[in-house]
């Protein structure tokens, strides 16, 4: 159970417009002790709790934040449920976060996830995307004006940038590109991100090592995402160009994840092989198309057979714990949908014995 006494003491002290020294003098402790309580570095001695509660005219339970702790546990359970559902059933994730917001309407952690699910579920319908304009802009303004979390405010800006990009396509209105560019100009550059800055903030030791391994995984993800956004969905690039780009990404991933466990990037290694299968098909090389579809299917099956938690053994990421719940527990079903529905393959190709054999790997 989380302890909120430090935050509560600070809130109560600020409300009374008292200094740490004044409170410390009343309690007979040093102001450094009060400072440590408020930062969460230490807690008051249990014998002081009645005096502190009496001074602020609250109960000890209120001072400890017991009700707040129960609230936090419930909110976290909603967030955990949402995160698991989001990757495999976004509409259900949307229902979950709706239910959570009815119970805790002012929590920005829930609001940002509602905003994400709203964009994913309703923003993906091109003829309906304009219908959520008022709601998206209101949510973003609420977060920017009232939320004290930088990470949530930045995430909301990024979502609005994505939304304006989609609107520029569907509404054929260049003004949305201008709005998107204004938001993007206000976002931090990559080197100012939490994951990267943590790599040089800690002295040598386990925290430093963990920060560096986390950043390496995130950088691989960003490299894949940037390359994907660069050319994968642009018909101006030839299938051969896209194939070479995907091969470069796969080479990087195989070098980083030299133990064969792709951690947080499992989905993207599978997608890269799947995309290459499609591009080889488009280039007229059916043999290579079958090879890459098969590799994607094999990796998807390997992923699904992993336990929920595994520890990476690769050179740079040795000891990193990978939890499948973070990225979704299944890949075979998703890849089968890509192969049979999303990828524009010919009926002749899909009717072949080789392709049917690949689909059997995904059963």
Interatomic CA distance for residues 15 and 10, integer angstroms:
8
| % of residues, the chain, pLDDT over 70 | 96
244 and 335 belong to one structural domain: yes
Contacts of 72 (CB under 8 A, 6+ apart): 2
* Three-class SS state of 323: strand
**pLDDT value of position 51:** 86
312 and 214 belong to one structural domain: yes
Question: Is 198 inside any structural domain?
Answer: no
332 and 217 belong to one structural domain: yes
Q: How confident is the model at residue 326 (pLDDT cuts 50, 70, 90)?
A: low
Question: Residue 150's CB: how many other CB atoms inside 10 A?
Answer: 10
**pLDDT value of position 2:** 53
Question: Is 231 inside any structural domain?
Answer: yes
Interatomic CA distance for residues 328 and 331, integer angstroms:
8
Tell me the per-residue pLDDT of 161-177, one tens digit each, with 9 for 90 and over: 999 988 988 888 889 99
317 and 222 belong to one structural domain: yes
259 and 128 belong to one structural domain: no
The number of domains in the chain is 3
- The mean pLDDT value of the chain amounts to 91
**pLDDT value of position 1:** 42
Percent of the chain as helix, strand, coil, to the nearest 5? 75, 0, 25
Tell me the per-residue pLDDT of 20-61, one tens digit each, with 9 for 90 and over: 999 999 889 998 999 999 988 888 888 888 889 888 888 887
CATH (domain of 168) = 1.25.40
Q: Which of 9-18, 117-126, 161-170, 255-264 has the highest mean pLDDT?
A: 255-264
Tell me the per-residue pLDDT of 245-297, one tens digit each, with 9 for 90 and over: 999 999 999 999 999 999 999 999 999 999 999 999 999 999 999 999 999 99
Which residue do the tokens 């002295």 mark?
203
Q: Is the pLDDT of residue 66 over 90?
A: no
Contacts of 282 (CB under 8 A, 6+ apart): 239
Q: Which domain holds residue 178?
A: 76-192
230 and 347 belong to one structural domain: yes
91 and 210 belong to one structural domain: no
Question: Is 316 inside any structural domain?
Answer: yes
**pLDDT value of position 3:** 63
* Sequence-ordered alpha helix ranges (H) in 172-265: 175-185, 194-197, 206-227, 239-256
Interatomic CA distance for residues 248 and 226, integer angstroms:
13
User: What mean pLDDT is predicted for residues 122-150?
Assistant: 85
Q: Is the pLDDT of residue 303 over 50?
A: yes
């Amino acid at each position: 159970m989380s302890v909120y006494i430090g935050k509560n003491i600070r809130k109560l002290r600020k409300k009374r417009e008292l200094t740490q020294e004044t409170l410390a003098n009343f309690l007979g402790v040093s102001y450094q002790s009060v400072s440590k309580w408020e930062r969460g570095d230490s807690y008051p001695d249990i014998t002081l709790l009645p005096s502190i509660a009496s001074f602020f005219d609250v109960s000890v339970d209120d001072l400890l934040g017991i009700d707040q702790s129960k609230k936090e546990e419930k909110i976290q359970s909603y967030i955990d449920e949402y995160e698991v559902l989001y990757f495999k059933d976004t509409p259900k994730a949307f229902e979950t976060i709706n239910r959570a917001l009815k119970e805790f309407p002012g929590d920005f952690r829930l609001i940002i996830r509602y905003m994400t699910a709203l964009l994913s579920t309703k923003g993906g319908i091109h003829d309906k995307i304009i219908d959520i304009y008022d709601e998206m802009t209101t949510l973003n303004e609420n977060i920017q004006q009232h939320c004290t979390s930088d990470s949530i405010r930045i995430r909301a800006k990024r979502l609005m940038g994505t939304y304006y990009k989609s609107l520029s396509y569907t509404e054929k209105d260049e003004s949305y590109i201008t709005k998107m560019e204004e938001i993007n100009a206000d976002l931090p550059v990559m080197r100012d991100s939490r994951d990267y800055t943590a790599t040089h903030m800690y002295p040598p030791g386990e925290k430093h090592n963990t920060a560096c391994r986390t950043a390496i995984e995130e950088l691989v993800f960003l490299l894949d995402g940037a390359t994907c956004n660069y050319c994968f969905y642009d018909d101006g690039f030839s299938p051969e160009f896209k194939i070479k780009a995907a091969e470069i990404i796969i080479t990087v991933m195989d070098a980083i994840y030299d133990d064969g466990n792709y951690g947080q990037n499992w989905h993207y290694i599978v997608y890269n092989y799947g995309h290459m299968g499609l591009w080889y098909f488009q280039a007229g090389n059916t043999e290579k198309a079958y090879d890459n579809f098969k590799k994607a299917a094999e990796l998807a099956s390997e992923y699904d057979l992993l336990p929920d938690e595994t520890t990476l053994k690769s050179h740079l990421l040795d000891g990193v714990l990978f939890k499948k719940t973070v990225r979704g527990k299944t890949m075979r079903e998703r890849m089968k949908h890509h192969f049979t529905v999303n990828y524009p393959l010919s009926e002749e190709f899909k009717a072949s014995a080789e392709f049917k054999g690949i689909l059997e790997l995904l059963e």
